[in-house]
Structures are given as structure tokens and as C-alpha cells.
Amino acid sequence: MRFLIPLISSSITSGHYRIISRLLSAHSTKPQHSTLPPFFNCQPPSMAASEESLRKALAEKQSAVEAHGNAVRALKAAKASKPEIDAAIEALNSLKLEKSSIEKQLQAAVSGSDGDGALSREAFRQAAVNTLERRLFYIPSFKIYRGVAGLYDYGPPGCAVKSNVLAFWRQHFVLEENMLEVDCPCVTPEVVLKASGHVDKFTDLMVKDEKTGTCYRADHLLKDFCNEKLQKDLTISAEKAAELKHVLATLDDLSAEALGAKIKEYGITAPDTKNPLSDPYPFNLMFQTSIGPSGLSPGYMRPETAQGIFVNFKDLYYYNGNKLPFAAAQIGQAFRNEISPRQGLLRVREFTLAEIEHFVDPEDKSHPKYSEVVDLEFLMFPREEQMCGQSAKKIRLGDAVSKGTVNNETLGYFIGRVYLFLTRLGIDKDRLRFRQHLANEMAHYAADCWDAEIECSYGWIECVGIADRSAYDLRAHSDKSGVPLVAAEKFSEPREVEKLVIAPVKKELGLAFKGSQKNVVEALEAMNEKEALEMKTALESKGEVEFYVCTLGKNVPIKKNMVSISKEKKKEHQRVFTPSVIEPSFGIGRIIYCLFEHSFYTRPSKAGDEQLNVFRFPPLVAPIKCTVFPLVQNQQYEDVAKVISKSLTTAGISHKIDITGTSIGKRYARTDELGVPFAITVDSTKDVTIRERDSKLQVRVSVEEAALVVKSVTDGLRTWEDVWEKYPHHTSGSADD
């Protein structure tokens, strides 16, 4: 009598899929007035609120201009006096100027800036992306074959950053928390993803150009249409603007039918050809393949790494000594066959996920190390603040948990740990916020869900999802596989519990219902406590009740002698339950892209004739920790450089020697562009200089010490400030740029 609950709420973007499925559109139309980065010349909060009145003012002014235009024409037709006509024209011009001014204000309001904001965001991104691509941080994959949309390679510095980020993730989460790391294949048989719901629900709505067959994401087209209309067409009414904004805000919730209706209503056509579009229909986003040679075993490239952990729960629980809580973790590739990838590294068809599944007793979600994060304070954006149109604000984590804004300690603990992880990587804490999911964003089974969102030139990007998914995933796999994925709490001494016992009397039921006996027995046994006790009372008072048997589709009469219902006391030695899972899920590529933007800046060259690019990566993630330059081309200096290089290798410090004859300034600029934090310049055989990238300050250190000084700072044992205090300063202009 148990019904399968719908596995996934109808919105593709809800719950578990959000980290890998959401275009971050839903929020781009919401007020975003938290702390702003230096390159965003954004409006004060009041501005956005005035958009509606500006639209009204503009419409009024437009009517006035038209009316005055008609008046001028009428005066001319009536051959009125020149001064009269001139005065009317002057009034018209003045109205036109006023209209133009309102237009400008409105333009600024809808683009969320003073008009230059969007432009400077674009320019900043272009500068960063140019440097990233030129220095091979990333490369469009298969470039010589003109590439494939949504696939990117990490080139040498990008690959080094990625491997540093992953190493730190392992240190910060797996090692410090004693997590059980696993490594499962990407190729996954259908049954697993059927159980998880991906085969049926992991879809985006697609429309096709009816003539060319080109495919588009339906919500993208509608979103682009609304945004374009709102930003470029200033003539639309305030009501129309409100309607378009409502569409944008509810985009993720629209059914295929509703989306199709809007596309028809707005007359949206294929962007490239203007051809008509098909109705929207779901396209499954998993890459499908076939396992083995028979063609009979469909498989998919996993869309997330989490399922590999869930199916191993039983073994991992045993490995952990049958104790809760424990966390398992996995780093690996995940795949998503996007309909039309865009936004560079942010929306790709293959990406690295790092996921944690923390299994916990649903009755005790405390965390032993919670006290270590309780005093952290950072930008949080709870559900209520979003609903009231407020902005994210600084909240002490302990307060958010104690007030119940964050559902439980364990969830709070992970939010805190994620904050520490991201900021230690070099993410700007003022452009990082934790946004709680709205009720309609969450899957029905989720207890609470927070996204770590990082602001970059594309807006606020969801980079980490931290969800309390309750017992959903383990139950789904238990049901499908028939293997119980449960935990047990052993009682220190047996507990007496009252248990309901329903005992159908088969002989009587057989006589009464013959062939239908089995259905009736099953229906009786499936009663819950309330139903059973009601029946017991009714049978005792009336001797017979009508009972609905759903597998028969009708009521049957049940007599007192057909079933015995009682409550019995039993001794239980343990409590068996399905653990809840709290899942922090990291989109590594998105974090890295945001890190690139947060680390990038330009500064003028010494001559002031050009802008030089710098990545201010902390040593932890810098792709190369140190460069070694002989000041001039000279065998002695080169030999010293080689000695230092050897000590750096022994110390495990990634570095590069540059013995080209290029000027030292150019060589510094080259390595600043790769975000190398330290440069050792060899200008004698005894002492060398060490230069720090951002301050451009230099100290003098002996050849023997050089590698160790760099190692101590990159390992975090001391800071550059400590070094600056301890060693003699170097101030030769020639050695700087």
C-alpha cells in the first residue's frame, strides 16, 4: 500500500540537480546590492526601485512630446506667427530633452548600473579572459578542429591551479575531517540513474528551428527575449515590464506547455534564421552510451559523482565500524550534454565535481566540531530576506543556526567550512554569499539548502550547493536494489516498546473473499496505526466495518472474526533507520573561474605606457610558486640559478628558470601574468633578491637560504611580512620594472 513518491520535483533545477543544472538566471533579475567589486560602478539600492516610476514618467513624457508635436504642426498649418511657432518648438525641444534624460536614467536603471557598469564589466572580463587564454590557463578543446562548444582544456597554469585547488580540498575536507574518499567510474549503468531519477527527470526543455533543425534551450530564448525587451525597448509600459520580470522570476517553474505558450505569445523565433520554433519538449542531458558489445545494456556518463557514494553506503558504513556520523567524498568528472553551452567555463559539458555525502542520524544532527565555526561572520542571504526584496547581510553563523535560519548544526558546520575553503583559496569574501533556497527551489524531500554564490562579471554564480537531502537518496537505492541501506543505533540496554500487531485470520478471510483473499490480507497488513486502531474500535462496537481495498478498487465488509488487532509490548535492542545525508557539492571549474576573476587586476608599467596584467593568487593555489632569473646572461649566475632550482625541486616547490636575455622588468611582467608570487633574481654568487608579486618589494637573502624562505611562505609557515621584517631590503630600480 506504499506509493512511490515522485522522485524529483517537476522543476529540473530544483534540489539535487541545481549545482549542475541551473543557469543562474533566476537571480539576475533580483536586486543584487551586496558589496560591490571595484570595477562594478553600480547604482545605490534606491535606483532599482525607481524603474517603475521612470517607465511611467517616460510614457507620460512621450505622450507630451507627441501632443506638443501635433500642436506645433497645427500652428504651422494654421500659419501662426513665427514667435508663436518658435515658442512652441522650444517647448517641444525642452520636452524632448527631458524625455531623453528620463530615457538615460531608465537605461541605467534596467542595466543595473550608471550605464558604464555593464560596459566596464564586459571590458574587465575581456581583459581577464584574453590573459587567461593567451597564457593557456584554459584552451577551447580540439581547437585545431574548430572546437566543440562547452568543452575546455586546462593548459599548464590552469591545470596547476586546478590540481592545487583539489589538493587543498583534500587537505581541508578529506584529511581534516577523516572522510572516506572513494573513486568510482564515470560509466554508469541505467538502473542506477533510473533509481536516482536522472533517467526520467534530468532534462531541459528544448525547441527546434522548424526548418533547419537547430536546437535551442527554450528557457534561454524566453529569458533573452525578456531581458532584451526590458533593457533595450524603453517604450514598453510599466505593466508590460512587470509582466516580463515576472516571467523571468518564474522561468525555472514553467512547464513545457507554459513555456511554449509564452514563446508563441511573444512571437519568439529562431535567433539565427527567424524561422518558427517547435513546441518545447524535454531533452535528457545525460550522455548516453552502451556498455559491452551486445548493445543491450544502456549506460550513461554520470551527471554527478554522488550516486557512486550512495550505492556504496553499506560497505562504507561497515568500514566506519558501523558508526554514524561519517562522511564519504569523491572528486571526479561529471558530464552534462548541454543543449547550447554558453558563459565560457561556467556552463560546460564536462566538469570536475568534488562532492561530500555526510551521513547522519536524522534525530541528531549536531556536529562535534561545530564550535570551531560558530563565530564566523559572513554574507548570508536567507529565504526571508530574498522574499522581502532585501539584500544579503553579514550574519554570525552561530546566530543563523540558533535562530533556526540554518536548519541544523551539521549543515551550519559545512557552510562555515565552505566559507573557510573558498576564502583561503583567494575568493573575495565581499563577493561571496550563502543564499538559501526558496521553498519552490527545493526538492520536496530536502530539509534545507544553501548555495555558496560567488559574484563575477556574469553575476552571482552558484559554485557550491550545501543541501540537507534527508533520507531520499538512500531510500531510492534501497527500493530499487532491494538492499537495505540503513544504520542501526544499538541501545545500551533493551528498550520496551509498544508495537501494533495486525493479524488477519486467513481462514475466515478465505471463506469470505476466496480469490481476493490475498488482496484483502495485504490491505489489512498495510494499515497505519491510526487506521488500525479506528478499525479495532469500530469492530468492537459494531462488529463489522466497510474497508476499502485499493487493489480491488472497492469496499469489502470486514467482520470481527476476520482480523485481530492489538498492541503488544516488545523488547528492542536497536533502532534501525535510514540516515539523512548532508551534501556539500563543489563545482570545481566554476570556483576556479571565479577565482581567476577575483585574482585578476591590471597596473600601469613603470614607463606608464601600458597596462600590465597580474593574478594575485595566494601561494596555495599559484600555478608556479617561484621563478629564478639570472639578472644578466652569465655562466656564473646561471650556475647559481641552477643550484637554487635544485633546492626548490628538493623542497617540492614548483618553479621555472628564465635565462632568456629579456629585460628583468619584462620577465617580472611575464610571471606576474601567471600569478607567480615570488621571483628570485640572481645578481651575485652570494646573495640573491626575492621579489613579492603584488607589493613588488624585494629582500636580499643568501643563496643557501633562498629556497627555504620561499618554501616557508608558500607552505604558510610564515608570511611575506615576516620575511620583509627579517631580511635586508633591496631597492635597486633596475631590478624592478
Residues 346-405 that bind a copy of itself (CB under 8 A): 349-350
578 binds a copy of itself (CB under 8 A): no
Candidate residues 339, 621, 664, 703; the one interacting with a copy of itself per rule CB under 8 A: 339
Give the DSSP per-residue string, 489-525: EEEEEEEEEEEEEEEE-HHHHHHHHGGGHHHHHHHHH
Pick 229 or 670: Cβ nearer a copy of itself = 670
Measured from the CB of residue 674, what is the shortest distance to a copy of itself in angstroms?
10
Nearest C-alpha neighbor of 709 from the set 691, 733, 685, 694 = 691
Do 376 and 608 form a contact (C-beta atoms < 8 A)?
no
Measured from the CB of residue 303, what is the shortest distance to a copy of itself in angstroms?
13
Do 435 and 390 form a contact (C-beta atoms < 8 A)?
no
717 binds a copy of itself (CB under 8 A): no
Measured from the CB of residue 263, what is the shortest distance to a copy of itself in angstroms?
17
Pick 170 or 444: Cβ nearer a copy of itself = 170
Candidate residues 189, 494, 604, 728; the one interacting with a copy of itself per rule CB under 8 A: 189
Candidate residues 45, 156, 543, 557; the one interacting with a copy of itself per rule CB under 8 A: 156
Q: Which stretch binds a copy of itself (CB under 8 A): 54-62, 84-92, 259-267, 650-658?
A: 650-658
555 binds a copy of itself (CB under 8 A): no
Q: Say how far apart CA 242 and CA 250 lie, in whole Å.
A: 12
Whether residue 557 has a cis bond before it, omega within 30° of 0: no
**For every residue of 323-342, which 3-state class applies, written as one string?**
CCCEEEEEEEEEECCCCCCC
Do 656 and 677 form a contact (C-beta atoms < 8 A)?
no
Pick 158 or 416: Cβ nearer a copy of itself = 158
Q: Say how far apart CA 428 and CA 240 lie, in whole Å.
A: 38
Nearest C-alpha neighbor of 24 from the set 347, 314, 281 = 347
661 binds a copy of itself (CB under 8 A): no
Q: Show contacts with a copy of itself in window 197-216 (CB under 8 A).
A: 206, 213-215
3 binds a copy of itself (CB under 8 A): no
180 binds a copy of itself (CB under 8 A): yes
Candidate residues 45, 185, 543, 604; the one interacting with a copy of itself per rule CB under 8 A: 185
Nearest C-alpha neighbor of 621 from the set 193, 159, 239 = 159
Using DSSP, state whether 554 is helix, strand or coil: strand
Do 15 and 7 form a contact (C-beta atoms < 8 A)?
no
Q: Say how far apart CA 244 and CA 465 lie, in whole Å.
A: 28
Q: Which residues pair with 335 in a beta bridge?
A: 350
Q: Say how far apart CA 668 and CA 262 lie, in whole Å.
A: 55
635 binds a copy of itself (CB under 8 A): no
Using DSSP, state whether 432 is helix, strand or coil: strand
183 binds a copy of itself (CB under 8 A): yes
* Helix pair 506-513, 517-525: axis angle to 10 deg: 130
191 binds a copy of itself (CB under 8 A): yes
Q: Say how far apart CA 587 and CA 452 lie, in whole Å.
A: 10
Measured from the CB of residue 236, what is the shortest distance to a copy of itself in angstroms?
32
176 binds a copy of itself (CB under 8 A): yes
492 binds a copy of itself (CB under 8 A): no
Do 350 and 334 form a contact (C-beta atoms < 8 A)?
yes
Q: Show contacts with a copy of itself in window 257-286 (CB under 8 A).
A: 283
Candidate residues 149, 387, 550, 576; the one interacting with a copy of itself per rule CB under 8 A: 149
136 binds a copy of itself (CB under 8 A): yes
Q: Say how far apart CA 694 and CA 696 lie, in whole Å.
A: 5
Measured from the CB of residue 400, what is the shortest distance to a copy of itself in angstroms?
27
287 binds a copy of itself (CB under 8 A): yes
Length of the chain: 737
566 binds a copy of itself (CB under 8 A): no
Question: Which residues lie closer than 8 Å to 318 by C-beta, 6 or more apart?
Answer: none
292 binds a copy of itself (CB under 8 A): yes
Q: Which stretch binds a copy of itself (CB under 8 A): 20-28, 422-430, 481-489, 683-691?
A: 481-489
Q: Which stretch binds a copy of itself (CB under 8 A): 225-233, 403-411, 475-483, 511-519?
A: 475-483
Q: Which stretch binds a copy of itself (CB under 8 A): 40-48, 56-64, 162-170, 706-714?
A: 162-170
Pick 189 or 543: Cβ nearer a copy of itself = 189
160 binds a copy of itself (CB under 8 A): yes
Q: Show contacts with a copy of itself in window 499-518 (CB under 8 A).
A: none
Pick 82 or 323: Cβ nearer a copy of itself = 323
Q: Which residues pair with 460 in a beta bridge?
A: 455
Q: Say how far apart CA 235 and CA 221 lie, in whole Å.
A: 21
665 binds a copy of itself (CB under 8 A): no
